[in-house]
Amino acid sequence: MNSGRTVCSQLIEHLPMHFFRDCVRRYDGNRRMRTFSCWDQLLCMIFAQLTYRESLRDIVTCLRSLGPKLYHTGIRGRVSRSTLADANEFRDWRIYADLAAELIRVARDLYRQDRFGVALQQTVYAFDSTTVDLCLSLFPWAQFRRHKSAVKLHTLIDLRGNIPCFVHVSSGRVADVTALDYLPIEAGAFYVMDRGYTDFRRLHAFTEGSAFFILRAKRDLDFARRSYRAVDRTTGLRSDQTIVLCGPKTATLYPDPLRRIGYYAADLDRRFVFLTNNFTLPPLTVAQLYKCRWQVELFFKWIKHYLRIKSFYGTSINAVKTQVWIAVSVYVLVAIVKKRLGLPRSLGEILQILSIGLFEKTPILQAFSQHPDGVDHADFPNQLWLFDL
């Protein structure tokens, strides 16, 4: 029940505050802290994400204009540009990464029964990366090309709810496939990837971990067919084969059989060839799972549009990782609130409403309720008409 609290304070109460305090103690985040704690830093950065602030000065100016509302929101320390910059620069980014991991765990439990387009009991992940261009003079540690810097966000999302489960931040020069070395492998789960992740030594780790991968095959793949199965060509399927690799290196790196499935997408007028280490799924299901990989591309487009990850408030790698993990926390927090409260609006609509009503004193359910369009003129019988209809 809301008793004059702001929408912001009602949103923040869904954060696991006790867990966050444990994270702060684990990494000694409040060491030498005088007036600006890690909790203050988190709330300021959440405010910046939700209200689309452009810079540290922009954040501080807007926060100071709120006056007493800051205290009731939970920000106890004095907010200044230098203090916030130092916090982003020196406080361990792993504090916020661990907070995001806890929020992700909660969100995945809430969305565990959601459907994503394919009737499958196992967990299905989509893995890809996106590049954020940066200024070379400000981010020399992330040099990408001769005159440009960039960071890559290697992201694994759970297709049930599109929840990001793993994010690895690297410089733009790091090849996408090397991120597989950091990927947690869950037995029985499916990992859907593009052909840029074709590295058979790394892919064999999925087989050894009792997990399954699905990815597009490269055109120059050297293989020999062992057997084939009949397919229904009216569904778009063209082939379903069991193969072994024949290349001088690939045959050693991946000695086990693979499944090669050909599929023609009539809507795109393109033929796709998929590789997988799963031999029990129907071939059409494999093609449908790869089509779901597009959800990770939509996720990247979404967060770049609604969250602040295309420009950063600090230039060090610690500041960049701090901002990325707080942005992920905001995304997952909004997803948790949407599920817990049964909000009918999309995540994008919720963030847009929060950006203008964050400090309104109204029940959070009322803030996101659907209001009728227009004004009922029957309530104003004496209102004069400007134009005759």
**Bridge partners (DSSP) listed for residue 150:** 133
Domain check: are 91 and 13 in the same one? Answer: yes
pLDDT, one tens digit per residue, over 299-308 is: 999 999 999 8
Domain that includes residue 58, residue range: 7-95+314-367
Whether residue 140 lies inside any domain: the answer is no
CA distance 179 to 153: 10
Q: Say if CB 308 and CB 153 are below 8 A apart.
A: no
DSSP 388: -
Q: Is residue 18 part of a domain?
A: yes
Kindly state whether residues 14 and 90 are assigned to the same domain.
Answer: yes
Is 232 inside a domain boundary? yes
pLDDT-flagged residues of the chain (< 50): 1-2, 377
- The per-residue pLDDT for range 350-361, each reduced to its tens digit, is 999 998 888 888
Percent share of the chain, pLDDT over 90: 69
- Phi/psi for 21 (5° steps) reads -65, -35
Within a domain: 58: yes
- Give residue 388's identity as a one-letter amino acid code: D
pLDDT in tens, 47-62: 999 999 999 999 999 9
Q: Are residues 75 and 17 in the same domain?
A: yes
pLDDT at 2: 46
Residue 320 lies in a domain: yes
pLDDT value of position 381: 56
Q: How far apart are CA 107 and CA 26, in angstroms?
A: 23
Does some domain include residue 169? no
- Same domain for 272 and 352? no
How many domains is the chain built from?
2
Question: Token pair for residue 90?
Answer: 């020196």
**In a shared domain, residues 12 and 74:** yes
Same domain? For 318 and 278 the reply is: no
The pLDDT of residue 1: 44
- Residue 27 shares a structural domain with residue 67: yes
Tell me whether residue 321 is in a domain: yes
- Would you state the structure tokens that stand for residue 366, as one six-digit string? 């009322």
Query: Kindly report the CA angle at 111 between 215 and 129, in degrees rounded to 5?
Result: 35
Sign of CA dihedral 69, 71, 72, 73: positive
Query: Which residue, among 226, 227, 225, 221, has the nearest Cα to 247 in the 3D structure?
Result: 221
- pLDDT tens digit sequence for 255-282: 999 999 999 999 889 999 999 999 999 9
As a whole number, the mean pLDDT across the chain is 89
Verify that 19 and 84 share a domain, yes or no: yes
Please report whether residue 16 resides in a domain. yes
